[in-house]
Amino acid sequence: LAASESAVVSAEGKIQAQRESSRVLSTAEADLRGRFEAALREAEEARERAAQAEGETRRAEDRIALVESELTCLRSSVSALQSDQEGTVRLLQERQEETAALKRRLTSANEEQSRLVQSLAETAKEAATAKDEVEAAQIQRVQTTEALRTA
């Protein structure tokens, strides 16, 4: 009986160990399944990114062709502009000469204006002096008239 009980306890221990082992295996299997599904998702996302990159590459190539075409047009325009540039440079030089002449005239006019302002200031000073003299003469006349009346 003791041997039987010992065998039962041993069997129960083995069953418990197998259950624990089964639980560990189930957990490991679930973990591996999750990793596998994540890897599948990542692979699918990588395929999608590769397809997008291929599309972007095609669009970039199309843009390069368009830019090359525009560059050819711009080169033609540059050539035409260069031929017009000489006339523009001549016109610019003429305008610069006209501007220099106008600046000289403006300087001369400013100098004349300064002389006129100075002359006007002197005339105003003379007018003020004359006014003061007239007022002084009027005051003296009034004083002289009063002195004569009093005498």
DSSP character at residue 96: H
pTM over 0.95: no
Report the Cα 117 to chain-centroid distance in Å: 48
Angle, CA 130 vertex, CA 129 and CA 135 arms, to 5° = 100
Q: What is the pLDDT of residues 39-86, one digit of tens each?
A: 999 999 999 999 999 999 999 999 999 999 999 999 999 998 888 898
Stretch (H or E) spanning 1: none
CA gap 18, 32 in Å, rounded: 20
